Amino acid sequence: MSEAALIDVIPSAHVIKRAARIGAEVKNLKLSGDLPGRTIAAINRLLLEHKVIFFRDQDHLDDAEQERFAVRFGKLVPHPMLGVSKETTSLLELDSARGGGRADVWHADGTFADAYPKILVLRAVVIPPFGGDTIWSNTAAAYLDLPPPLQRIADELWAVHSNVFDYAGMARVREVDKKHFNEVFTKTIFETEHPVVRVHPETRERTLVLGALMQRFIGIPKYDGQKLFDIFQSHVTAPENTVRWNWRKGDIAIWDNRATHHYAVNDYGDQHRVVRRATVDGDVPVSVDGRRSVTRVKATKQPPMKIT
């Protein structure tokens, strides 16, 4: 179907940009697993253009229907360590009361693995009366903002990503969150080498692969690497390169995990927040010179030995 035909499926008047570089709200569309193929194609086109898209008033979606809708974009996969919500095949529940959902670091989901997720579909189940927003950034725009000499440096760099990082050293970490991280999130240890710049498989844009799960650049000393990381990441998180979403119960956010980072704002104290996420399987990143990411370490953490 042509791009012009796809535009007719979702009228432009129903697509409201939320920021100049990233994010749009789609109005007057009831999501379900039964949407026509041309509507799914139109949603995907908007996703590629705006990187993250939002839908209000989707309270009719339950867990099963959220999965039926999400699977229209590709194969659904469970989180490799955190598992799935009860009676679902792939949904991950992020419940602030159970040590989940306070991901207040800039990251793309799952970059500790090689074929990390391509699309995430997030549904708001319980939203606190204040706070709890999520911010997304456009990593393709961030790459374009780099001066050409820095683009050339980024094009050649590779980095190690891992699910083991200094979570306990972050500000505002509660004991319940730290315990959950240590016991669940890192029960299997991953280390994967990714290009710092990947070529998006659909748009052919160059996007930056950085964030909190990145541990170090390959072949760069730690001190120099930190300086480089700070420069590149500052373009990812520049305010003009972001969009912030104020959640309401029943909202749906869909984002292209290959071209965005996101940050869950931890400003709601002890208020309750629950969101459920469907994950669409991704593809292995390819660098500008055609090399593919590779996982070097995938090992189950061994429990400490008991001394008797």
Average pLDDT, consecutive stretches of 10 residues, N- to C-terminus, the chain (308 residues) = 66 97 98 97 98 98 97 92 76 84 88 96 97 97 98 98 65 49 64 97 98 96 96 98 98 98 94 96 98 87 47
Sequence spans of domains, the chain:
75-300
Q: Are 58 and 87 in contact (CB under 8 A)?
A: no
Instruction: Give CA–CA dist 69/30, Å, rounded.
Output: 11
Residue with tokens 């094009």: 155
pLDDT score of 308: 38
| Residues 6+ positions from 29 with CB-CB distance below 8 Å | 10, 14, 39, 55
Let me know the angle formed at the C-alpha of 281 by 279 and 287, rounded to the nearest 5 degrees.
125
The pTM (predicted TM-score) of the whole model is 0.89
Please give the CATH number for the structural domain made up of 75-300.
3.60.130.10
Q: How far is CA 250 from the centre of its chain?
A: 19
**Sign (positive/negative) of CA torsion 287, 292, 295, 296?**
negative
pLDDT score of 76: 95
Residue with tokens 């949603």: 43
pLDDT score of 305: 40
pLDDT score of 100: 62
Q: Are 248 and 132 in contact (CB under 8 A)?
A: no
What are the φ/ψ torsions at residue 41 (nearest 5 degrees)? Answer: -65, -40
pLDDT score of 8: 75
pLDDT score of 173: 47
| Residues 6+ positions from 132 with CB-CB distance below 8 Å | 247, 264, 265, 267, 268, 271, 273
Instruction: Give CA–CA dist 241/250, Å, rounded.
Output: 26
